[in-house]
Structure 1
Amino acid sequence: MQLIRDDGLWSSGSPIVTGTKNAVPQGTTLPTGLTQTLVQNDPGFANPSTRDFRLISSSPLRDAGTAVPQGPSGRPFPAPLALPLFHPPLGAIQAVGAAVARPSVGTIDLGAFEYGTATTPPPTPPSGSCKVSANSAWVSTSMASQTGTFTASWDVTPSAASLDGALGLSFGPQTAWSGLAAIVLFDVSGRILVRNGASYQAATTITYAAGQTYKVKMVVNPANRKYSVYVQSPGGAEILLANQYAFRNEQTNASQLNSWSIVQTVPSATLSACNFALQ
């Protein structure tokens, strides 16, 4: 059995937990059934405060596990032992079939994630030219007022594979979804959708992945309350996601736009928009 304990004390009595090559924090009282146990103050997680328990390169949990764990006497493990097949999602619900395969990189690591080239690295923190939303915070930015046809573009990065986050254009700063006229949604099913009047739609299916950056371009005509959206995935070609969609129903009277906003409501996840440009 491979586990990481966070209890300061094990209960006494007949041992029901035993094994080799586990990890516990300093100060833990160990039962005799645990052998070759790592005692560490810092397990080397990427960012526990955001529930990111992937291992960093210096983590003592790397290559510290065993592919043949031993159980308590009389409670043998099945043979052959099935090693973990997938990495769990990072602090968010994950769509069925979207799980990331856990790679085999040398000796198995302790913990939920295997460190190695096949492990998605933590996203690079956005630069100062970026706006970031987390925990349902609205982040609005002013721009030159637009009344004729114009193009707005961003580099958008979701931190997780299942968000409820939006990027939108409006008249004035906003704190409610109904105040956005043109909206691109990174939804909980892992798709990128566009607001068309009363609902979110898409001309084609584009899914997004955690930590990847997507070029989002809106071509907007405030005079007729219509807009089109193009998305370019990493390493891919630009794709038309929405063609002449209508402004959100609540914004049918919006004839000029002078602000853009992002918002993201899933806990422990972020949506960032960088390199905003107007044409």
Structure 2
Amino acid sequence: MSIPSFGAGTFRLKDGAAKDSVLKALDVGYRVIDTAQIYGNEAEVGEAIAESGVPRDQLFITTKIWVDNFSKQKLIPSLRESLDKLRTDVVDLTLIHWPAPGGAVALPEFMEALAEAKVQGLTRQIGISNFNIDLTRQAIAVVGKGEIATNQIELSPYLQNAKLTAFLKEQGIQVTSYMTLAYGKVLNDPVLSAIAHKHKASVAQVALAWALQLGYAVIPSSTKRENLVSNLLAQKLHLDADDMAKIAALERNGREVNPQGLAPVWD
């Protein structure tokens, strides 16, 4: 199993903006697209992929099961609906988007249903999102070690999540970083700006390169072609040990996404 290291996210992109962003991303070279049932843009993502002309076998498509569809009766039918919207027979990765609110659906129930979706050939890989260490352990216990491809979690220079990322590495679970730019808050950081100036790079490139060098996958989003192109260049930026140490010192537990009723007790 492998998770590509660089993709285009679609969080908060609606209707034509979602379609336009994905079309631009595919046009400038992205081959990984991340969406979710709750984003309400799977159909637009599917339209963009169809119109792009990029062969399906060159793409890596991720979607996420929303909490309303966690029961064993709903999970697989909801994924089939997602496949219809995305205009594909199979996605490359399907994630449980958040832990079940209040434990309304038992974790073994939805993890078993997700594993069954893989058995049925609806998804090539399975994973989790926004799971803490305890919930990740429980998920591994249900589906088996080596079955969970990734845990997609919020990470940025302001939220480095050292305990959880160390655990995931120990378990052989790829870390996928979302909100790597902290809703744009890191873009004005003086430390990151100085590193960017040193490398003749953008601050966004520095933040993304930091995550990549730690071994994380990233899925930044943008509606602007120039930003999509610029973000891709982070893959060629090498930060030295001094740069990485300065960024490590920026940790402030600066969590941006913490929805009440969904978020677990964070590590």
* TM-score, normalising length: structure 2: 0.24
Q: Going by fraction, where is helix more abundant, 1 or 2?
A: 2
Q: Going by fraction, where is strand more abundant, 1 or 2?
A: 1
* TM-score, normalising length: structure 1: 0.24
